[in-house]
Amino acid sequence: MKILIVEDEEELSKNIATYLKQENYICDLAYDYKSALDKIYEFDYDCILLDITLPDGNGLNILKDLKDNKKADGVIIVSAKDALDDKLKGLKLGADDYISKPFHLSELSARISALIRRRQFDGKNIIVINEITINTDSRIVSINGKKLDMTKMQYDLLLYFIVNKNRVLSKTAIIEHLSGDHAEYLDNYDVVYAHIKNLKKRIAEAGGNDYIKSIYGMGYKFEVE
């Protein structure tokens, strides 16, 4: 999977690349508008992370260019502006998703993974981790072939863990992921604990292994060989 990161902040770009490379993505970096355009015409990407505010141009124009040239690359807009206008304009111009700064790398990774899954039309929307199978189309989780009943929260949480497998996810990243756009109620980390406890219980009841490890109660990790 090839990803282009269009972002003028070098440190942020490199951090994103570092995180994504561990997920076996190949990352190209473009620090400005011009080099972004060059790279887009030269290669095809599975996903482009597009910062709107670039020193020498508006990222939205790159998006327009892509669509005008019928390039099929998936686009996630990254904006510091968090402006509704930009979001709406971006999505109207054909962006696939929108994420506003600051974000957790695990969240970005989940978005990229979701985007790539959506764009695979060959029925590959099935994630298999040992005995756990997730069909991301029908949102059905089964363990050893047996369907598992889950709440929406539990499903979201499991998927979040699996696309970020072997990564430490902080309590903060988890609660922000679960509350989506409405992360104003961040205090109650007990809720995270309760969700994870329920999820683990559900998996254990269905005969699954205990993959979710607590990292000193500060974060969690879905550990799989």
- The nearest distance, CB 152 to other proteins, in angstroms, is 9
End-to-end CA distance of the chain: 21
Shortest distance, CB of residue 13 to other proteins, whole angstroms? 9
Q: Choose between 66 and 163: whose C-beta lies nearer to other proteins.
A: 163
Site for other proteins in 119-178 (CB under 8 A): 153, 167-173, 176
How far are the Cα atoms of 120, 134, 135, 137, 139 from residue 126, in angstroms, in the given order? 11, 6, 5, 8, 10
| 218 binds other proteins, rule: CB under 8 A | yes
Choose between 100 and 142: whose C-beta lies nearer to other proteins: 100
Q: Quick one: 103 or 155, whose CB is closer to other proteins? A: 103
The mark string for 80-109 relative to other proteins (x by CB under 8 A, - otherwise) is xxxxxx--------------xxxxxxx---
The nearer residue to other proteins, 215 or 224, going by C-beta atoms, is 215
Q: Mutual orientation of helices 152-163 and 189-205 as an angle, nearest 10°?
A: 90
The alpha-helical segments, DSSP class H, found in the chain are 10-21, 33-42, 59-68, 84-92, 105-119, 152-163, 171-179, 189-205
